[in-house]
Amino acid sequence: MEQRDRSFFDEINDYHFGNLSAQDKLLFDSRLIIDLELAAAYEEFSDTLKIIKQQNIHNLKNDFQLLDAVLDKEFLSNQKRKPVILYIAATLVVLLSISMIYFHQNKLDNPAKAYYEKDIGLPVVMGENNNIQLDRAMSFYKLNDYEKAKNILTLLSNKKPTDTLTYYIGVNNYELGQYKNAINFFKKVDKQSSFYDKAQYRLGLSYWQVNEIDSTRQVFSNLKSPSSSYSVQAELILKKIK
């Protein structure tokens, strides 16, 4: 009996591992149909083999479980670290954006800034000047309160516009960073006015500030003439914006 079992077992193994020739395999397939004992032995073999395979998967799962303990720890620590990393990343992005805006702003501002000098304003001698409001405006201007200075100058200009008022409204707009408004006022200063050169120079700088390079070039080209008190600066600026 055992001999027979053993013989079946060896044959089944050869069949299972593909060690039989095509002819022998065909023969074995036929015997599986007609030989009930062999068929039963084969079924028994298949069942046991399945158990072996399942046991192997079971062992594999145990190995995974051992790894899971370590991997779960890593996973959780990464999860905890994630918000901190996100927080740092967000802060860096904000800082980077601010610095880029600042850098960009400076890039636009700096060239014109380097050539700008603050107008000293008109002398304020209380009692000697009939226009007290203009004195007040100049006082505010000298105290760097350009908004108040501009308001007073605008009120005065609405009553009776003069080149002096127009020029200083432009200057205050420039100081406030309102370059487009400044351009409108500097442009209005009459050619005959004593403020004309100053206004033109600041007009050029205002154009530069808003990146209107053609207009900037035009204004400084006019100021290049030796008769202008800004000819040297105009030359330098023209070279710079080439």
Partner 1 sequence: MKTDFINSIKSGKKDELLDVYKRYRNDFIRWAVTNYNVSIEEAKDVFQDIIIALYQNITDGKLTELNCELRTFLYQIGKFKLLNLKKREQHKTLYEEDFLHVTPMGVDTFFDTDEEKYINYELSNYLSHLCENCRTLIDLFYIKELPLKKVAKIMGYKNEDVAKKKRYECFKKLTVIYQKEKQNGTKR
Binding site residues, partner 1, CB under 8 A: 5-6, 9-10, 13, 17, 44-45, 47-49, 51-58, 60-61, 63-64, 67-68, 71, 74-75, 78
Nearer to partner 1, 10 or 24 (CB): 10
| Least Å from the CB of residue 32 to partner 1 | 18
Q: How many Cβ atoms sit within 10 Å of the Cβ of residue 86?
A: 10
Q: How far apart are CA 79 and CA 209, in angstroms?
A: 49
Nearer to partner 1, 62 or 221 (CB): 62
| Least Å from the CB of residue 73 to partner 1 | 10
Residue with tokens 């100058």: 153
Q: How far apart are CA 186 and CA 169, in angstroms?
A: 9
| Least Å from the CB of residue 15 to partner 1 | 14
Question: Hey, what are 241's tokens?
Answer: 């914006």
| Least Å from the CB of residue 78 to partner 1 | 7
Nearer to partner 1, 63 or 214 (CB): 63
Contact 223, 231 (CB under 8 A): yes
Nearer to partner 1, 71 or 95 (CB): 71
Backbone CA torsion sign across 124, 126, 128, 132: positive
Q: Which of 165, 185, 159, 161 is nearest to 121 (CA)?
A: 165
Nearer to partner 1, 10 or 147 (CB): 10
Question: Hey, what are 49's tokens?
Answer: 């083999």
Q: Which of 189, 193, 187, 179 is nearest to 218 (CA)?
A: 187
